[in-house]
Every structure is written in C-alpha cells, then in structure tokens.
Amino acid sequence: MNKNESMNFSFFRYTRSKSGSGRVRGKQIANYIGAKLNPDSGYENDICIYVKRKPPENFPKTTYLDVVDSMFLMRWVKDHPEVGVIGITKLSQEFMSKELNRKDICMIPQHHCNFEQNKRKPREVKVVGYIGGSKQLQYNHEKLKDELAEIGLDFKYKTGFYKRSHVTSFLESIDINIAFRYRKQRRYLKDALKLVNAGSFGIPSVAFPEKGYEAEFKDCYIKANSGEELIAGCKRLAEDKELYNDLSEKALAKSESYHIDKIIPLYKNLKVN
C-alpha cells in the first residue's frame, strides 16, 4: 500500500492528551495514510476507528474500538458486542477474546517511531535512557542516577514528548534503554513498544519482564526483577561488547516487523458493515 493512497478511514483519538498511544495510533496513522482525523462530518460511511475513547451514542455503522491498553474500556465493549474491537498484541487479542467471549478480535500492533530506520552510531556505551511517564519508571530517579554514576554511566530521561521527532532524537542520544514497571502486573493489554522503539535503532534494553515484553520481545532484552538487577544489567551491557552487539542485533531484527509500512496493510483486513 502506498502511504499516499487515500483510504475510507476516519480516526478519532482522545485529544486532551498531547502524547502517548492516542497520538501514535490516531494521528500518526491517519496522517501517514491520508485518512480523516477527528472529522466533524463526512465519516458516516467510513471505517471509523476510535482510539482509546468510547464511540458516541449514535456511532457509525462500521465502528471499531482500538482498546490499546485501556482496561477501563472493556465494560463498554461488553455492552456493545456489535462494535469491532482491535487489540495491539496476540496476548491482548487472546485476553479480550476470552473476557468478551468473542472470536472476532482484530490484532494490529503499534508501529515504532523510527520511520526513517536510522541506527545508533558506533560509540562508547555511556548513556542509559528512559522514555515515558515519570511514574512509570518505578525506581527513584535520583537514586538510579547515582547508582549508574558509580559504574561510570550517565542517566538521561525526559517525559512529555509531543512529536515523533522528539522521541527519535532522544533515542538516538542514548546507548541503553531501560523500563522498570513492576507494580500491577495484570497487564494483558500492554505491549513491548518501549523496547521496540529502542530496538529499532539497535539499542538494547534492560527491563522488568512484563507480560507484553515476554510475549513479544523475549530473549531480546535483559530481564531485571529488582533495582539491583536493573543496575547490574546496565553494567553488563556497558562492559561486555559481545553481549551488547548480540542484543542490539536481536532487538533490531525483532523491531523490523513493527515498522509503520508493515503495520498499515493490516488495516485493510478490517471488515465493513
């Protein structure tokens, strides 16, 4: 499919949030394929996809709810079996199929941020980076910074990314990606996008083994079940060049299937009512 090909799609995303999956799944996809984004009219006969938001009471005849990772939407979906449902992983597809007693859950993964397929330039492994909401890194930031400094590594993090270029620029500036989110592990709707984004640049990750990470990125990152293991994993990557290169290659290869050009065709499988 040509990225400039016009499609009869309309995307409706949650607009009060300037970042996150609503932007990734809504705005970026719509802009890339030339679909309508939050239209006020003229969408009645389109395939309408509502990203992490409830459709209106009088929703169009061909409506899909892209649940992404929003568990709170499951109740609405149960009450509206006539609406199509999209999951972002095989794990979430299986979970929703069981919870909703449905066999028609669609699966469309989230695409990574690296449209240009840039790669990390060869250099000393020096900078550990974290990308995402500050509360999602469930380890004291200052403590982490000090502990990494003790083994000769810098810590860099920032939240509130509003543009894809902000994310790519940040990832291009780091050497190791971390993700440490150990609370509330009933995350059947979560995917491995944090690891996939970094992996698309050939940047290996050290992360708590969430269900989504294990389901999609197993053996392509270093598992850390504690803060001590998080620091130790970063140290291993910094000191073991062979390990670093091995995980870099595995993460890069795994991430290739999440490029936007591989994801867009999956929307063509959605059925029209």
On whether the CB atoms of residues 30 and 12 are closer than 8 A, the answer is no
Whether the CB-CB separation of 64 and 47 falls below 8 Å is answered with yes
Same domain, 94 and 137: no
Q: What confidence tier does 185 reach under pLDDT thresholds 50, 70, 90?
A: low
Residues 140 and 211 in one domain: yes
The answer to whether residues 220 and 200 touch, using CB atoms and an 8 Å cutoff, is no
pLDDT of residue 212: 94
Gap between the Cα atoms of 88 and 105, Å rounded: 10
Q: Is the pLDDT of residue 3 over 50?
A: no
157 with 226, same domain: the answer is: yes
Domain boundary residue among 73, 108, 143?
108
Residues 43 and 100 in one domain: yes
Report the percentage of the chain scoring pLDDT > 90: 79
19 with 74, same domain: the answer is: yes
Residue 141 lies in domain: 127-256
Q: Is residue 160 part of a domain?
A: yes
Same-domain check for residues 81 and 156: no
The amino acid that residue 220 corresponds to is C
User: Based on the domain organization, do 98 and 173 belong to the same domain?
Assistant: no
Question: Where does the pLDDT of residue 18 fall: very low under 50, low under 70, confident under 90, or very high at 90 and above?
Answer: low
What average pLDDT does the structure give for the chain? 91
Residue 235: predicted pLDDT: 98
> Number of folded domains in the chain?
2
Q: Domain for residue 121, yes or no?
A: no
Q: Would you say residue 84 has pLDDT above 70?
A: yes
15 and 98 share one domain:
yes
- State the pTM of this model: 0.93
- pLDDT for position 138: 85
Span 84-92, average pLDDT: 97
* Sequence-ordered list of residues with C-beta below 8 angstroms from that of 112, at least 6 positions apart, any chain: 193, 196, 197, 199, 200, 255, 258, 259, 260
Q: For residue 5, what pLDDT band results from cuts at 50, 70 and 90?
A: very low
